[in-house]
């Protein structure tokens, strides 16, 4: 029974210390916090929606593109997998960058990177004949680099 009372005293002291620590901080009103959380949540939702739409658009477009550009199955598979090489390679790096620089700044950079490479994809696909196919691979890897860090950003925000 005495041990439980000692534990209660320790907990009360910890609560008291936390209250003292937080009493010096100015907290914004609950309405401002709720509004900010809502805005950040909506922004992350829209970003996630765009991320998944960009990720799947080549899977849908690969069949007509293969017919137009006479790609065999190996070329189609290489184009589709090149995105995931970039995506896979940024998982650890983006986690470290988010921890060091904050998720908001790195998220902005990631969105800009994947947006630029998304815009370059049709141009690179039009050039994708023979050795220029490497340009399409590079664009798809760049798109994966931008999107690969998205989950790390969401977690840090």
pLDDT tens-digit readout, 88-142: 888 888 888 878 887 777 788 888 888 899 889 888 888 766 667 888 899 999 9
pLDDT at 20: 57
- How many residues are present in the chain? 157
For residue 148, give Cα distances in angstroms to 44, 79, 87, 107, 108.
15, 17, 4, 11, 13
Q: What is the pTM of this model?
A: 0.70
Q: How far apart are CA 77 and CA 62, in angstroms?
A: 9
pLDDT at 65: 87
CB under 8 Å to 61, separation ≥6 — which residues? none
Rounded to a whole number of angstroms, the CA Rg of the chain reads 24
Please determine, for residue 75, whether its predicted confidence score (pLDDT) is greater than 70. Answer: yes
Per residue in 15-66, pLDDT (tens digit) is 666 565 555 555 566 677 788 888 888 888 888 888 888 888 888 888 998 8
Q: How far apart are CA 141 and CA 136, in angstroms?
A: 9
Q: How far apart are CA 7 and CA 23, in angstroms?
A: 24
pLDDT at 142: 92
pLDDT at 134: 87
pLDDT at 11: 57
pLDDT at 29: 67
Reported confidence tier of residue 3, pLDDT bands at 50, 70, 90: low
pLDDT at 146: 86
Half-sphere exposure of 106 (CA within 13 A, CB side): 25
Q: How far apart are CA 62 and CA 82, in angstroms?
A: 13
pLDDT at 138: 92
Ramachandran area for residue 130 (φ above 0: left; ψ -120 to 50: alpha; else beta): left
Closest alpha carbon to 128 in 89, 75, 80, 90: 75
């Amino acid at each position: 029974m005495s041990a439980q009372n000692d534990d209660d005293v320790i907990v009360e002291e910890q609560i008291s210390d936390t209250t003292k620590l937080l009493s010096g901080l100015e907290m914004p009103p609950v309405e401002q916090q709720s509004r900010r959380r809502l805005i950040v949540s909506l922004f992350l939702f829209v970003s996630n929606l765009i991320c998944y739409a960009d990720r799947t658009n080549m899977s849908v477009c690969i069949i007509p593109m293969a017919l137009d550009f006479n790609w065999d199955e190996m070329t189609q598979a290489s184009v589709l997998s090149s995105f995931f090489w970039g995506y896979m390679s940024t998982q650890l790096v983006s986690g470290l960058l988010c921890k060091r620089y904050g998720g908001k700044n790195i998220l902005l950079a990631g969105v800009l990177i994947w947006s630029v490479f998304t815009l370059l994809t049709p141009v690179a696909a039009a050039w994708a004949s023979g050795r220029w196919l490497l340009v399409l691979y590079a664009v798809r890897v760049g798109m994966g680099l931008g999107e690969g860090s998205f989950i790390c950003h969401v977690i840090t925000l």
